[in-house]
């Protein structure tokens, strides 16, 4: 059961700039060692959508997942294809990963 007071406190922290946290579960992605599997998942196609803590790798199209909400400027690493990426905000307002050189 959720404690309403606790929720209020959490909301206040969030407005202060803290990022939403996410619990990641292993989705069976088996292209990386077991301890890293929960940080990746396969993109399921047109019906799929990205959570605030997820971006698609532009190189191998795998979904990279963070335990925290992602923001523009964040650097992420795609282990399956070994790409270093940076998160950017597109003109449409969505987050996207670009290859960082």
Residues forming the site for Zn ion (CB under 5 A): 57, 59-60, 78, 81, 83
In the complex with Zn ion, the residue whose CB is nearer, 55 or 78, is 78
Q: Cα(98)–Cα(86) distance, rounded to whole angstroms? A: 5
**Burial code of 56-78, b = ≥16 C-beta within 10 A, e = fewer?**
bbeeeebbbbbeebbeeebebeb
In the complex with Zn ion, the residue whose CB is nearer, 22 or 29, is 29
Q: Which strand (E) or helix (H) includes residue 65? A: strand 62-65
| Smallest separation, CB 91 to Zn ion (Å) | 23
| Smallest separation, CB 61 to Zn ion (Å) | 7
In the complex with Zn ion, the residue whose CB is nearer, 10 or 86, is 86
């Amino acid at each position: 059961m959720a404690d309403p007071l606790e929720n209020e406190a959490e909301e206040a922290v969030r407005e202060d700039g803290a990022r939403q946290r996410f619990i990641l579960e292993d989705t069976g992605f088996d292209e990386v060692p077991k301890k890293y599997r929960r940080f990746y998942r396969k993109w399921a196609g047109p019906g799929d959508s990205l959570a605030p803590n997820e971006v698609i790798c532009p190189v191998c199209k795998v979904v990279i997942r963070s335990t925290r909400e992602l923001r523009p400027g964040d650097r992420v690493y795609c282990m399956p294809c070994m790409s270093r990426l940076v998160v950017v905000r597109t003109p449409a307002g969505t987050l996207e990963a670009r290859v960082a050189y």
